[in-house]
Amino acid sequence: MENGVAVTVIEVGPRDGLQNLSFFVETENKAALIRKLAGSGIREIQIGSFVNPRAVPQFRDMEDLVSSLGDLRSVTMTCLVPNAAGARAALRAGMRKLVYFFSVSESHNLSNVRQGREESLKGLRSVLAETAGTADAEVTVALATVFGCPFEGYLPKDEVLGWVERVASLGVGEITLCDTVGWGNPRQVEEICSSCRELFPETVFAVHFHDTRGLGLANALKAFEVGIRRFDAALGGLGGCPFAPGASGNIATEDLVFMFDGMGVSTGIRLEALLDVTSYLREIVPGVVVTSALARAGLPRPRGPQARETRASR
């Protein structure tokens, strides 16, 4: 709870959305997008990845991007780092909140980052060592395929919790539980999130849901109900294939905020301003398919002379 905000919506579109694009988004457009997101009230934004620019050319401008946003004090900016070299580059650029990631599924981790989970855990130790000398630096961990792996299926809960424990035991204060492929369902989300919160009360848990099979917001609702207060989301529902209609990516920031807003759960984000940012996204990513239902349908607005209530009765 910060400044009366009940939940923190973490915008990951600049990273998880833009990384899949086949063309480069100019640094000034990225910066403008991030500033507009901040202007709508978003307080934490994942701005990109410190990865090999040959692997992901979209992020070849990370140093310039961070530098150009140096005055943006209202927002916690985070970035992905795949290893100690990435962490070093991120710290050098001025980043202070780094997100290290690996998969709780061995085969998905091999496929995604070309190393096994034990190797990834070693990598995490290196990243922690790399940042240890920077007083205000923080490393969080995003665990992929927590709610299902495209190769192995649904992992046993104990195996998932085992990896959470190994990460937490290294002193990582925040862990993001990711439904990488949109296989999760509310009951499973309840069980895994509840167990995590019970077993690791010192750890802050965030969730990252994809809406691939339509359950993203239902899963977010359930996570909220069992005490999760930090939610990744991407403007426009980016994060799938950005030009394929319906290839859903992340839950859409607009829709998530609309849900919380309607429920009276404060996010600190102004929906009208956020929808203006969606329009800006369409400008800088021509042809992008926005899957946000709210962006498509618009805010509910009574249009009759009898208009009375613009908020749900409570």
**Which residues lie near its own copies (CB under 8 A)?**
106-107, 147-157, 160, 181-188, 191-192, 211-215, 217-218, 220-222, 245-248, 252, 255, 258-259, 262-264, 291-294, 296-297, 300, 302-304, 306-314
**Residue whose CB is less far from its own copies, 53 or 264:** 264
Q: What does 230-252 look like in DSSP terms, one character per residue?
A: EEEEBGGG-SS-TTSTT---BPB
Of residues 171 and 302, the one with the C-beta less far from its own copies = 302
Structure tokens at 175: 């862990």
Provide, rounded to whole angstroms, the least separation between the CB of residue 85 and its own copies. 29
Q: Is 241 a catalytic residue?
A: yes
Distance CA 267, CA 153 (A): 34
DSSP bridge partners of 58: none
User: Shortest CA distance to 117 belongs to which of 56, 159, 173?
Assistant: 159
E runs forming strands in 37-115: 44-49, 76-81, 97-103
Q: What angle do CA 171, 175, 179 make, to 5 degrees?
A: 155
Residues 75, 39 contacting (CB under 8 angstroms):
no
Exposure string over 180-214, b if 16+ CB within 10 A, otherwise e: bbbbbbbebbeebbbbbeeebeebbbbbbbbbbee
Torsion angle in degrees (nearest 10) through CA of 257, 260, 261, 266: -100
Nearest to 77 by CA among 119, 121, 29, 138: 138
User: How far apart, in whole angstroms, are the C-alpha atoms of residue 115 and residue 118?
Assistant: 8
Identify which of residues 143 and 172 has a Cβ nearer to its own copies in the complex. 143
What is the distance in angstroms between the CA of the first residue and the CA of the last residue of the chain? 22
- The one catalytic residue among 149, 193, 196, 241: 241
Q: Which residue lies nearer to its own copies by CB, 213 or 270?
A: 213
In terms of CB distance, is 73 or 308 closer to its own copies? 308
Closer by beta carbon to its own copies, 28 or else 191: 191
Residue 211 three-state SS:
coil
Contact 207, 143 (CB under 8 A): no
List the catalytic residues: 241
